[in-house]
Structures are given as structure tokens and as C-alpha cells.
Amino acid sequence: MSVSEKMVQEVVQEVMAKMQIANAATEKHHGVFADMNDAIAAAKKAQQVVRNLSMDQREKIISIIRKKTHENAEIMARMGVNETGMGNVGDKILKHHLVADKVPGTEDIRTEAYSGDRGLTLVEMGPFGVIGAITPCTNPSETVLCNAMGMIAGGNTVVFNPHPQAIRTSIYAINMINEASLEAGGPDNVACTVENPTLDTSGIMMHHKDIPLIAATGGPGVVTAVLSSGKRGIGAGAGNPPALVDETADIRKAAQDIVNGCTFDNNLPCIAEKEIVAVDTVADELMHYMIAEQGCYLASKEEQERLIHTVITPKGLNRACVGRSAKVLLEMIGVTVEDNIRCIVFEGEKEHPLITTELMMPILGVVRAKDFEDAVEKAVWLEHGNRHSAHIHSKNVDHITTYAKAIDTAILVKNGPSYSALGFGGESICTFTIASRTGEGLTSAASFTKKRRCVMSDSLCIR
Ligand code: NAD
């Protein structure tokens, strides 16, 4: 394809995404209601059907969601970027393919059996019913899709209260999930939402008698609100993942992995490298490779000051900066760079506002530590007790073990980019709801089920 053909195609896709967003505001979509109570009632009716579907039938719905997610990956990626202004289309497409391929379905629902002289006992994983889910603007359709797949696999239906800034993209995914269910012979409204989600609609959801479980994916405010609701909550909260680099690491590879992880979707993923702690003896070499080979721009003290005042406001993060590229962020402070610049780096103390704050922007501060022990102490401090994600580049297994125990996070990536924890360049499943606060870790269908013991006394043991 020639350059001009490619540009035309991109413009067409862009316009299509804008049209989809406009249509989502006016068209009738499956699962979308004006009133939260009506959304919950519809999801409850659907759940009565879903709970009686065979595992095969549930799996059929999930396999159609996978197919549609692949087919609609680009349009959802474009809608997400257009509507929120955050992230980049290429990486968001990859995230949707990851969801389609690596979010577990019904295979995650396993029965335990105990058989002996006194009979047979099964421990089965049953549905909760209608689950309430609150989703972030950083991965709008991705979170909706992976939550719904796990929840439906578990025999539940779901009512979403998505981030208002990403409602059209979320509605697109919710509509698609219901279309998949209908195509598979399942009910409509397996996933529901409201046209205008607000704190009031989420309050209705959180206190509704028909919602026994709430899964909250977002910052500290929403997780605290859900955990204070009196309901069972799955809290997937904020992170500020440090990447520790010690003197035994392959420094050139560490520079590449860290910058690749940090810049993925413009640093939106909660698991992404947000700062570096490097042992003194390798800090300069690491910085050298990041600048010479990985498209990093070294910000001067004065530029750091301008960045601080641009990206952080007295009320918190400047939302207009979240998920923007390094080039755009630099433009905002009056610095013009080539297109190949993908990350902003500098050295600073751990208390530096651009280091201690979870920015969700491709800005990487490097904190120098005098030795490994000092690096662990600084990294643990920077993680702020979120127990979310951390990364290490080291060939010393004792160091890796010490760090893993000290930082105690749901995710620890060793010698790779952060996204390998999502199954992208690493083994195992994908999710966009990492329950750091409540301990489920990477959520999957099993996280959305409750254990039920089914006992046959004194028979059915045939040993
Ligand atoms: P956010 O906290 O602003 O919003 C998340 C959701 O919570 C939105 O739907 C929002 O409307 C709602 N919300 C916010 N405060 C609420 C309250 N008091 N009561 C009820 N609902 C409330 O977060 P965001 O900007 O959309 O996403 C970024 C944040 O989410 C980051 O902190 C990131 O680390 C975190 N995150 C965590 C995970 C994870 O799996 N642990 C995944 C993605 C994002």
C-alpha cells in the first residue's frame, strides 16, 4: 500500500469511529436503558436464563464474543481513542486481540471432588446472579469485554456503570456482547448499562438488593466506595509500578523492555512501568541506552518543572494529559521533537512529583539507589502499598526473591516488559481487572463465582 493510500485508509477509519460514536448516542442498542433500576431488572431476567444454560451454551456465547472482538478490534480501538483522547489505536487493537484470545471462558470453572467411605462431595462454582461492574476510561471496551466474558462463563449477567467519558465505546462493546448472546441462542441483556452513567446511577447499583457482588476497576476513590457499600466487592485499584534494575541485569535489554512496557498504549495500563529504580553502578548505562536506542527524550530540570505544572493540577492529574504520547506532552510545554520520541526520561529523587504520582503518561523518572537493598526500599516506598504491580531486571535469583517478598504485589514481571503479565509475550491469561486491593489478583471467570458444597452422604463412592 502506498503512503497516500494508507493515509486515506486511516482517515476513513477515523471518520467511521466518529460516526460510530455519534450513532451510539442515537441508535437503539441492546442492553442500554435510561434508568439503572430497569437495567438491573433486565439483567436479572436474563440471568434466570443464563444460569440454566449448559456450559456448552455459555461457551458458545463467549466464542462469538471472541470472534466479534477480533472483527471489531480496530473500530473499538479508534472509538476509545476518539472518545477519551487517551492511548493509541495500534496498541488498543492489540489489547482487543489479547482479550479475544486470552481471557478465559468456562474452562476456568472447575469442580473439586472428595470421595471416600462417607460418600461423595462436590465443591462447585455457582453464579452470584447479577454482578455490578464499574469500569475505567483507560481500557473502556477491553474491561467491559473481559468482565462480561468471565461473568457470563460463571453463569452471571452484568450491569455496567462505565466511566462517563467512555460511555459510547462501552455501549458499543455491551451491544456486541448481547448480539453474541442472541446469535448463540442465549437471551438479550446479558450485559446492561445506562445511557448516562453518573455517581448516582452507580450508587443505585451499589445499594440495589439484586446486586450481590460489585467489581470495581479504577482508581482509589471507586474501590473505597465499593468496599464501603456493604456488598461483597472485587477491588481492582490504582498502581504505581516501579521497575527495579540491578547490577546483574542485561542493561541494554532492560532499557528496551522498560520503554516498550512504559509506552504501550501511552502508559495507560495500570500495570505499566511508571518509574525506574536503578542501582548506582548501572544507572548511567541504562539512561544511555534509553536515550540512544529507545527513543527517549532527556528532560532538563526546567522542562521537568514545566511538565509538573502542566500534567498535575491542584485537583489531581490533568485529564488532558493522561494517555497522551510523549511528543504531544512535550508540545504542551513548548518542546518540539521528532516522531520517533516515545518517552520522556530524567533522573530525580523518589519524592519528585513526576515519579511518586501515578501519571499514566510516557514519563519515566529514574531514581538512583546506592545498592540493591536501597533500591528495594525505594521501590517499595514508590509502590505506595497498592500491592498492584512491580517489575525487576536482574539475573540474581536471590535478588528477585527478596524483591518479590518485599513488594508483595499481585503482578511481578521479571526481565520483560510489563505487558507480558497480560499474556502478551508471557504465559497465561489476560484480564484488564487486576484485583490488587481485595486479593483475587488477575480476575477470571472463577473470581465471579461462589463456592457451593454438594454432599451425597454414604453413597456414590465406588472405589
Ligand atoms: P477513575 O477512578 O477515575 O474511574 C473509574 C470508574 O470509577 C469510572 O467508571 C468512574 O466513573 C467511577 N468512579 C470514580 N469515583 C467513583 C466513586 N467515588 N463512586 C463510584 N464510582 C466512581 O479511574 P480512570 O481514570 O477511569 O482509570 C484509571 C485508574 O484506574 C488508575 O488509577 C488505574 O491504575 C486504575 N486501573 C486499575 C486497573 C486494575 O485492574 N487494577 C485497571 C485499569 C485501571
Apex 266 CA angle, 264 and 271, nearest 5: 60
CATH superfamily of 5-237+442-452: Aldehyde Dehydrogenase; Chain A, domain 1 (3.40.605.10)
3-class DSSP assignment, residue 259 = helix
In tens, the pLDDT along 202-231 reads: 999 999 999 999 999 999 999 999 999 999
Q: Copy the grid coordinates of residue 445.
A: 471467570
Regarding the beta carbon of 140 and ligand 1, being less than 6 Å apart is answered: no
Nearest alpha carbon to residue 264 among 173, 361, 329: 361
How long, in residues, is the chain?
A: 463
440 touches ligand 1 (CB under 6 Å):
no
CATH among 3.40.309.10, 3.30.70.940, 3.30.70.3420, 3.90.650.10 for 242-428: 3.40.309.10
Whether residue 270 has its Cβ less than 6 Å from ligand 1: yes
Asked if residue 157 has its Cβ within 6 Å of ligand 1, the reply is: no
Any ligand 1 atom below 6 A from CB of 221: yes
pLDDT tens-place string over residues 381-428: 999 999 999 999 999 999 999 999 999 999 999 999 999 999 999 999
Q: What is the pLDDT of residues 66-111, one digit of tens each?
A: 999 999 999 999 999 999 999 999 999 999 999 999 999 999 999 9
Tell me what the mean pLDDT of segment 120-140 comes to: 98
Rounded mean pLDDT of 193-205? 98
Task: Please state, rounded to an integer, the average pLDDT across all residues of the chain.
Answer: 96
pLDDT, average across residues 247-267: 98
Per-residue model confidence (pLDDT) at position 25 = 63
Protein residue whose Cα sits closest to atom 9 of ligand 1: 163
What pLDDT band is residue 323 in, cutting at 50, 70 and 90? very high
Question: Taking residues 187-194, what's their average pLDDT?
Answer: 98
Q: In this model, does residue 250 exceed pLDDT 90?
A: yes
Candidate of 158, 217, 234 to mutate for ligand 1, largest count of ligand atoms within 8 Å of Cβ: 217
At residue 242, the 3 state secondary structure works out as strand
Q: Is the CB of 254 under 6 A from ligand 1?
A: no
Domain ranges of the chain: 5-237+442-452, 242-428
> DSSP code of 321?
T
Whether the Cβ atoms of residue 416 and residue 260 lie closer than 8 Å to each other: no
- Distance set, CA 331 to CA 19, 97, 144, 344 (Å): 29, 31, 33, 12
* Rounded Cα gap, residues 217 and 219, in angstroms: 7
In contact, 289 and 257? CB cutoff 8 Å: no
From 145, 228, 270, 324, the mutation candidate for ligand 1 (largest count of ligand atoms within 8 A of CB) is 270
Q: Are strands 441-442 and 434-435 parallel, antiparallel or unpaired?
A: antiparallel
Beta 191-194 vs 157-162: how paired, if at all? Answer: parallel
